[in-house]
């Protein structure tokens, strides 16, 4: 619908004004100026139907869209809700607000993620939260696919909120191609979205710390990654008596499947079923394995191997010559050298729920068994070719922000993080606000934080504020002192008070 009925325009003016109206129309649309009531739809429409309704309306409108099709939909405003609609003040189910106290905890955690990554020489990267849906669609029937937040955008493209970071990393590595010098050591801390059944520590939105190494085929890379997680745990006060890592290799499964001539392309599917071993009844697991095409004999053998918790026992069954045993032995040897042997244990049942892993896989768990996996990762040497790129040996891990906080709570290890400001600066007279601003600017220039009192407030209020902010000093700008070019200082911890010249204030 055009903004003004064209019949109301003077025909002579309409020619020259048309471009102007088109300009106004396109520039006001995204600003959502009040819309006449009759244009308000009582029921908001869903995204995909909205996109198609709007693009056809614009196409019918003719010239203004500058070409029909999906792209023009991007210019249309979203549906306008009823005015003064009472909203639910809670965030959508499974998502979180971060008020200041929660943000302090989040920053504390992320600072440790970043600091550990820095200690290991990794570079920080990030990707868009919104990615093409195709990036996350793999054929193996992973749970993550059913949990996608996906929709059609206004340009009719299928997009998804990322449920994990690894496919985005693969995309960027393929895009950068030969310009990258290997090995890459990249880390990221980003928000991921999964429409998950909510349990303790599992949410619909979470942040993940990822560290990935690309270009190193040796197990030294996995050993280095586990070392970085151990370093993180130690920094936040978690020890090997609180958590451990279950480690295995998907090559164990591969060797068993090869013995039964199971085709390679079934491998991913079998891993996804095996990953559910602790979540669903064993008969259901057997039924699902059978459905992938495995014989009953192969299933029995597989389940037997998966129950093994000792590397020596595995070696007895598989023989000592295979890659699985060699990789795992090497990892345990390196763990000794890194000094974290007591943190890791072999457990053949760990296969992980993502289709792309090809070698060593590991999961961090709490020893009391109260929580879901704290972190997880592994080797994924063939992910890039599934996106049409050249494969590069790769491994990495994801570490969520939710389970770890539950664990810290459980152990009484949550840090006490309070607001901390160096100075409260307050003018005792409204006319001295300018001077107080000068004092604040001077201190901030020296790197000190200042909460400047911006209104006229009684001293009692200012003291309360200083206590809440755990301020070190209260700096008062009063008439008598200022006439001498001085300000009053009170050290809040000791109660010491003095006057000082503004120039000498440090």
Q: Which residues of this chain interact with ligand HAM, rule CB under 6 A?
A: 164, 166, 194, 196, 201-203, 206, 208, 210, 212, 354, 373-377, 380, 396-400, 402-403
Query: Token pair 């001293």 is at which residue?
Result: 459
DSSP code at position 355: T
Q: Could you tell me the two tokens for 78? A: 């979203």
Q: Least Å distance between CB 166 and ligand HAM?
A: 4
Q: Least Å distance between CB 213 and ligand HAM?
A: 9
Is 165 assigned to a binding site? yes
Is 54 assigned to a binding site? no
C-alpha 237, offset from chain centre: 23
Tell me whether residue 378 is exposed, middle or buried, using C-beta atoms within 10 angstroms of its C-beta: 0 to 12, 13 to 18, 19 or more: buried
Measured from the CB atom, the residue of 193 and 340 that comes closer to ligand HAM is: 193
Instruction: Identify the bridge partners of residue 486 per DSSP, sorted by sequence position.
Output: 501
Contact of 350 with 361, CB cutoff 8 Å = yes
Measured from the CB atom, the residue of 375 and 477 that comes closer to ligand HAM is: 375
Q: What is the 3-state secondary structure (H, E, C) of 241-302?
A: CCEEEEEEEHHHHHHHHHHCCCCHHHHHHHHHHHCCCCCCCHHHHHHHHHHCCCCHHHHHHH
Is 352 assigned to a binding site? yes
Is 357 assigned to a binding site? yes
- Round to whole Å and give the CA distance between 269 and 109: 35
Measured from the CB atom, the residue of 200 and 287 that comes closer to ligand HAM is: 200
- Round to whole Å and give the CA distance between 232 and 162: 25
Is 212 assigned to a binding site? yes
Measured from the CB atom, the residue of 268 and 377 that comes closer to ligand HAM is: 377
Is 356 assigned to a binding site? yes
- Bond from prior residue into 183 cis (ω within 30 degrees of 0): yes
Q: Least Å distance between CB 206 and ligand HAM?
A: 3
Q: Could you tell me the two tokens for 242? A: 């609180």
Measured from the CB atom, the residue of 58 and 229 that comes closer to ligand HAM is: 229
Measured from the CB atom, the residue of 209 and 482 that comes closer to ligand HAM is: 209
For the beta carbon of residue 302, count every other beta carbon within 10 angstroms.
Answer: 24
DSSP code at position 12: H
Q: Least Å distance between CB 382 and ligand HAM?
A: 13
Q: Least Å distance between CB 367 and ligand HAM?
A: 16
According to DSSP, the β-strands at 497-501 and 486-491 are antiparallel
Query: Token pair 């929709």 is at which residue?
Result: 151
Q: Least Å distance between CB 383 and ligand HAM?
A: 9
Measured from the CB atom, the residue of 54 and 208 that comes closer to ligand HAM is: 208
The beta strand positions in 367-501, using DSSP E, are 375-379, 394-400, 423-427, 450-452, 473-477, 486-491, 497-501
Q: Least Å distance between CB 95 and ligand HAM?
A: 11
- Show binding-site residues for L-histidine: 164-166, 194, 208, 212, 352, 356-357
Q: Which residues are annotated as a binding site?
A: 164-166, 194, 208, 212, 352, 356-357
């Amino acid at each position: 619908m055009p903004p003004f009925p064209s019949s109301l325009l003077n025909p002579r003016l309409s020619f020259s004004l048309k471009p102007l109206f088109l300009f106004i129309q396109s520039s006001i649309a995204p600003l959502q100026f009040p819309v006449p009531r009759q244009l308000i739809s009582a029921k908001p429409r869903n995204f995909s139907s909205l996109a198609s309704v709007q693009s056809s309306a614009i196409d019918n409108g003719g010239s203004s869209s500058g070409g029909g099709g999906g792209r023009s939909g991007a210019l249309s405003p979203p549906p306008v809700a009823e005015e003064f609609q009472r909203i639910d003040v809670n965030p959508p189910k499974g998502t979180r607000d971060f008020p200041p106290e929660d943000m302090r905890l989040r920053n504390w955690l992320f600072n440790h993620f970043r600091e550990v990554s820095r200690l290991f020489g990794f570079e920080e990267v990030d990707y868009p939260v919104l990615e093409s849906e195709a990036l996350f669609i793999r054929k193996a029937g992973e749970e993550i696919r059913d949990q996608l937040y996906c929709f059609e955008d206004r340009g009719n493209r299928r997009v998804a909120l990322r449920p994990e970071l690894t496919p985005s990393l693969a995309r960027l590595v393929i895009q950068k191609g030969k310009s990258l010098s290997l090995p890459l050591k990249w880390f990221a801390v980003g928000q991921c979205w999964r429409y998950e059944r909510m349990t303790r520590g599992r949410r619909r939105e979470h942040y993940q710390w990822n560290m990935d190494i690309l270009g190193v085929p040796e197990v030294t890379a996995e050993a280095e990654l586990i070392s970085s997680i151990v370093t993180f745990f130690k920094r936040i006060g978690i020890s090997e008596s609180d958590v451990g890592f279950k480690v295995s290799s998907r090559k164990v499964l591969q060797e068993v499947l090869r013995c039964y001539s199971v085709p390679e392309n079934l491998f991913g599917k079998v891993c996804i079923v095996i990953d559910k071993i602790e979540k669903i009844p064993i008969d259901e697991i057997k039924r699902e394995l059978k459905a992938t095409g495995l014989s009953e004999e192969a299933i029995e053998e597989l389940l037997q191997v998966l129950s093994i918790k000792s590397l020596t026992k595995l070696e007895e069954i598989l023989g000592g010559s295979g890659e699985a045993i060699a990789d795992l032995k090497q990892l345990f040897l390196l763990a000794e050298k890194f000094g974290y042997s007591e943190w890791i244990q072999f457990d053949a049942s760990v296969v992980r729920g993502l289709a792309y892993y090809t070698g060593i896989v590991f999961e961090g768990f709490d020893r009391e068994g109260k929580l879901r996996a704290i972190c997880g990762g592994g080797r994924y040497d063939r992910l890039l070719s599934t996106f049409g790129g050249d494969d590069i040996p790769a491994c990495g891990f994801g570490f969520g922000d939710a389970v770890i906080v539950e664990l810290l709570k459980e152990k009484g290890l949550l840090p006490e993080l309070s607001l901390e400001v160096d100075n409260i600066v307050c003018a005792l007279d409204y006319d001295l606000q300018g001077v107080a601003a000068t004092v604040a600017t001077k201190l901030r220039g020296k790197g000190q934080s200042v909460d400047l009192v911006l209104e006229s407030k009684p001293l009692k209020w200012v003291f309360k504020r200083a206590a809440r902010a755990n301020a070190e000093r209260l700096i008062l700008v009063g008439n008598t002192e200022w006439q001498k070019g001085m300000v009053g200082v009170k050290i809040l911890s000791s109660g010491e008070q003095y006057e000082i010249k503004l120039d000498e204030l440090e």
